[in-house]
Amino acid sequence: MAPIMHCNLTAPQLIEWAMKLEPDTKLSARGALCVLSYAKTGRSPRDKRIVDTPDVHNNVDWGNVNIALSEESFNKVKKIAKDFLDSREHLFVVDAFAGHDERFQVKVRIITTRPYHALFMRDMLIRPTPEQLKNFG
């Protein structure tokens, strides 16, 4: 069965889903969402990879932080991720822009299994207007 897709929900809707789906999720006395993130709570810069293609190869400072990934390896990881997402009951989608300067903005689509991750990304990125969302994809 395909996952139920929850696209571009409001903050209150994401909070409601987090309260339904996340064990031990609560609202603080002042209304903040409190969740348990369990293990691996920090960022891991050494887990970042950049697909090494001819059009980016000479534009990246390769090393300990910018680690190359072959297109073949990327496609294997992409399939694993897709299979995982396809196995979930609910998915949360956030369409947004990265970058404030419109000349350099990048459209991004975040797909996550946890509503509080979608809430975080909704707050971190620039939300499109309803008109922009019509032509987003």
With respect to CATH, is domain 4-36+45-134 assigned 3.40.449.10?
A: yes
Per-residue confidence (pLDDT) for residue 41, from 0 to 100: 62
pLDDT per residue as tens digits for the range 47-61:
889 999 999 999 999
For residue range 21-39, list pLDDT tens digits in order.
998 899 999 999 999 877 7
Name the residue ranges covered by the structural domains of the chain: 4-36+45-134
More reliable by pLDDT, 65 or 14: 14
Taking the C-alpha atoms of residue 49 and residue 68, their distance in angstroms, rounded to an integer, is 6
pLDDT at 40: 66
Phi-psi sector, 43: left (phi>0), alpha (psi -120 to 50), beta: beta
Which residue type sits at 124?
A: M
Looking at residue 96, its pLDDT comes to 98
pLDDT tens, residue by residue, 80-96: 999 999 999 999 999 99
